[in-house]
Amino acid sequence: MIKRTLFFGNPAYLSTKNEQLVVNFPEEDKREATIPIEDLGYVVLEDPQITITNGLLRKLVQNKTAVITCDSQHLPCSLLQPLVGHTEQTERIRHQLNASQPLKKNLWQQTIEAKIHNQANHLLRREKNALKLKRWAKEVKSGDTGNHEAIAAAYYFQNLFDAIEGFSRNQKGVPPNNLLNYGYAVLRAVTARALISSGMLPTVGIYHRNKYNPFCLADDIMEAYRPYVDAMVYEISETEPEIDELNQNIKAQLLTIPAMDVFIDGKWSPLMIAMSRTTSSLYDCFLGSSRKILYPEFE
């Protein structure tokens, strides 16, 4: 089932009644609105004057709904998820923590191969040269010791946004870096939610290990999905007259990322469902019942 994403960019009072999320607005001309909690996958809270009851938070967490709050720059900055995401969580975390270094290096190799393949296919969709990316994807070694991920990323972004003068991928760089930042933050939340639902810790990565990063594994697993965000940002940058600021229309488009169609294991699936299949396959690798992570193929 595809879960809905709700975005609140104005003052609102959020509560619950009869297993529904109840929305009341300060403006007298706006009627009360209700949404079934079971339908929700993500709730994004942007306006600082939003009030939400503890009862609603509890029900959202029990439904495994990711509650995302935004900072003063309107970017997602925190994620609320349940302490217990799976009935076998203790055992699954044990297998995750006991994963050998050779296994982690192999999983990272698979991840980077899939990422570069998807980057190449995205460039081909835009009728741009992807021969180097296709070659580099085949040259990735265990642990990506040749740092092909960084080499490919530099080439990919230079060619993808070649029409934008001075563009390079940098969080504080020229637009559409701002759109990429927002889209990747949404993707990160989708990945963390799926990892927790699969009974794993999003903190302990297979490659990323920055001690200040609480989402190392999420940052690992989302890599192969990044080109889907890039594709949406590319479309927005081609159609929107102004992308210097993240307006409501642009954010509304980026918040549809969880529902994007991706091609995985021979069939089309919403990205949020595909991500759950990816994290489930990751656990199978930690368990030892499989050696392959299931990633989508950019079409």
Tens of pLDDT along the chain (299 residues) come to 789 999 999 999 999 999 999 999 987 677 899 999 999 999 999 999 999 999 999 999 999 999 999 998 888 889 998 888 899 999 999 999 999 999 999 999 999 999 999 999 999 999 999 999 999 999 999 999 999 999 999 999 999 999 998 899 998 999 999 999 999 999 999 999 999 999 999 999 999 999 989 899 999 999 999 999 999 999 999 999 999 999 999 999 999 999 999 999 999 999 999 999 999 999 999 999 999 999 999 99
Is the bond into 48 cis (omega within 30 degrees of 0)?
A: no
The domain locations on the chain are 4-80, 89-287
The SS3 assignment for 7 reads strand
Pairing of strands 51-52, 13-17: parallel
- Annotated ligand binding at 95? The verdict is no
Q: What is the pLDDT at residue 165?
A: 87
Q: What are phi and psi of 148, to 5 degrees?
A: -65, -25
CB 283 within 8 A of CB 217: no
Q: What is the pLDDT at residue 155?
A: 97
CATH of domain 89-287: 1.20.120.920
Integer Cα distance of 105 and 145 in angstroms = 9
**CATH architecture classification, 4-80:** Ribosomal Protein L15; Chain: K; domain 2 (3.100)
Q: What is the pLDDT at residue 255?
A: 96
- Annotated ligand binding at 149? The verdict is yes
- Annotated ligand binding at 242? The verdict is no
